[in-house]
Each structure stands twice: as C-alpha cells, then as structure tokens.
Structure 1
Amino acid sequence: MKTRHTAAARDLTASGQRDAPVEIVDYDPTWPDRFADEHARLQALLPDAEVHHIGSTAVRGLAAKPVIDVMALVEDLDPPIPALVEQGGYAYPAAYNMTLDRRRWLCRPSAEHRTHHLHLILDRPLLDRHLRFRDRLRADQGLRDRYAALKLDLAARHPTDREAYTAAKSAFVEQNSC
C-alpha cells in the first residue's frame, strides 16, 4: 500500500485556482517508464531538444509528488509552445509564464490535474545543476533520505503555501547541486 502525505498548498493554475493539494507518495517503479514514454512523445515535438527526467520521480526510492518532471534544453522558448499544446496535449498557463525569465513551464494534461511538468529552458548551467542534484540523490542513500524527510517536514509546516515549501527546499537543493 502506498503511503500518501498530503497537504494543501498554494498553486497557480491556468483556471486561476489557488489551493491544490501537495501529495507526496512513496516511490513508484513505473515513473521511469512514464518518463520514457513522454521522452518519445517529446522527441517528435522537440526533435532538436535535449530532454531529461529531473526531480524526485527521477530518483529510485525517493518519495515524490506523483508528477513526472521533464526538462528540455531548447534553442528558442516560444516557437515550440503551439505544437506542445495542440499536438502534445500540454496546457500552457500564460499568466504564470509571464513571470518566468528564460524558461517556460507547461503541464499535462491540465493545470488542474497534472501528470507531467515540462520545463523549457535556454540555460545549459541550469540544466546541469538539475542533473547534478538528481545524480547526487541517485548515488547517495543518506542524501536521498535527508531530502525525503525534509520534503515531508516542509509539506507539514507549509500546508497552504507552495511558494514557502519550494523556497524552503531550494537551499537544500542549491547546497547539494554543486
């Protein structure tokens, strides 16, 4: 039986809904296959992009929100968006994306029910930081356990504020992505 840790959290969605639960579940061994399927779909839509599985679902044994995080290094941010929306089934929350610099964020199938997050980026160093952190978590059981405990603690301490939850994790991520 899966352990679920749920806390309400602030979340910007395309529909303008603010409160959505943050659900942290035990590792699901189907996550790598779900990424592989998504990678194949994205290669057809972003043939020149470098596509990677990032985030906690990319780390065997790590509890995570059950959403596959994908990062794609692209040459230009905006031209692929229509194809990702029309052919790829992604939602593009335009208001949220107006706040982002040098990256775009999409989700599938909708902002209200997300199974995948797609981060389009222009910045190789940003991709490298995400990959270093992922790879360190994969290689170090102690680090992985500390990160899982931190996420559960922060979800409990910030049950209605996703921004605070994410900000509180960011120091750990930055410290361990060097």
Structure 2
Amino acid sequence: MKDEEDGVWIVEYDPGWAEKFERERLLLQVLQADISQIEHIGSTSVPGLAAKPIVDILMGLQQLIPTDDQIRSLEQLNYVYEGQVLNIPEHYFLRKGMPRLFHLHIAQPGSAFWQRQILFRDFLRAHPDQAQEYVCLKRSLATQFRHDRKTYAARKTPLIEVMLSQARAWQRQVQE
C-alpha cells in the first residue's frame, strides 16, 4: 500500500456517493436476515458537502458482535474486518478498497454511537452554515495531516463535539 493511496483527501461533493451507497446496500443484503437497519452516514451522506471520497455505512445487526459467518460473507464482498478500532464497545469496523471506497460501521441501532452518527448527519443536512464550517476545518486538517489519519480525526473532534451539542439543542427544538 502506498502512502498516497491511504492518505486524507477532501474532494468536492459527488452526487454519485448516494448511488454508491445504494448499490453497496444491495450487496450487503447477503446478510439480509441478520440486518436490522442500514444507514448512509458521514460527510458523503450530506448533499453538497465536500468529503473524503469514502462512503460510510452504518449497519445494525440483530446481535452486536459480528459472527464468523457474517465476517466471512463480508470478506467475500472484499471487506477487511478490523474489529473494534475506536475502543467503543458498541462499534465494529470494516473497510473496503485501497484506496478506500467504503467504511462499514457495525453498531446496535439506538446505541450512543448510532444516535451520534445519525444526529450529526441530520444536523449537517439541516444546517448548511455549520456544514461549511466543518468542511473548512476538514480541508485545513487534510492539508496538514495528509498521511496521518488518526491526528486528522482527533483534530476534528473538538468542533464535532461543539456541533453535537448544538445538534442536541436543535433536536430538542424540533421535537417540541
């Protein structure tokens, strides 16, 4: 694997990302009896938002921990199982492609991880000014940390936490 193949690159929004998600969603139906819910998350799920050209998929299984058979089925679709990479008990991770094409996040629907991903996506979709603030930070960090994914992600966290706080307040308003 070459460094540039797995670097952090932010590109302009591609309407094809939604289509890629839908096509991959169909392939993932190999686990159809085991899937309770599947969602397009991350920046590629926010229309108009520049992003890393990697489609993030959030998949809920009937049980949290993927079985050996499920992992084998996903590996047949060229996913690489990486386990719990974020030290979050309710999150399992797989990636596909090099350069990366898809990130598959397995979590329990309703878990804190699940709710956070959906809330952040929905907040950015509904608040274009915050979405642009987020993409400006991502572009800056991608330039500084092109070959350091962990630092890139860690440096986004403070702004994400602020936006999640705003998102929770927005969610409460919408529900009233």
TM class, shorter-length: 0.7 to 0.9
Question: Structure 2 vs 1, CA of residues 105 and 18 (structure 1 numbering), >3 Å: closer, same or farther?
Answer: farther
- Residue 11 (structure 1) aligns with: none
One-letter code of the match for 1:22? V
Count of residue pairs brought into register by the alignment: 159
The answer to whether 1:52 aligns with 2:42 is no
Normalising by the residue count of structure 2, what TM-score does the alignment of the two structures yield?
Answer: 0.80
Equivalent position to 2:96, from 85, 90, 108: 108
Normalising by the residue count of structure 1, what TM-score does the alignment of the two structures yield?
Answer: 0.79
Question: Structure 2 vs 1, CA of residues 77 and 49 (structure 1 numbering), >3 Å: closer, same or farther?
Answer: same
- Residue 163 (structure 1) aligns with: 150
Counterparts of residues 97-136 of structure 1 (less than 5 Å): 97=85, 101-109=89-97, 112-122=98-108, 124-136=111-123
Deviates more, 1:64-73 or 1:159-168: 159-168
One-letter code of the match for 1:36? E
- Residue 137 (structure 1) aligns with: 124
- Residue 91 (structure 1) aligns with: 80
Distance in 1 (CA, whole Å) between partners of 2:85 and 2:72 is: 14
Distance in 2 (CA, whole Å) between partners of 1:46 and 1:76 is: 15
- Residue 134 (structure 2) aligns with: 147
Distance in 2 (CA, whole Å) between partners of 1:103 and 1:141 is: 28
Instruction: Determine if contact 2:7/2:149 at 8 Å carries over to the other structure.
Output: no
**Could you give the per-residue CA deviations for residues 34-92 of structure 1, whole angstroms, max 9, x where no partner exists?**
11111122133243331110000000110001110001122232212121112x22122
Gaps of 5+ in 2: 169-176
Distance in 1 (CA, whole Å) between partners of 2:146 and 2:54 is: 18
SS of residue matched to 1:160: coil
Point out the structure with the larger strand share.
Answer: 1
Q: What do you get for the CA RMSD once the two structures are aligned?
A: 2.3
Instruction: Determine if contact 2:90/2:113 at 8 Å carries over to the other structure.
Output: no
- Between the two proteins, what is the percent identity of the paired residues? 33
- Residue 23 (structure 2) aligns with: 37
Instruction: Determine if contact 1:73/1:124 at 8 Å carries over to the other structure.
Output: no
CA deviation after TM superposition for structure 1 residue 114, in Å: 1.5
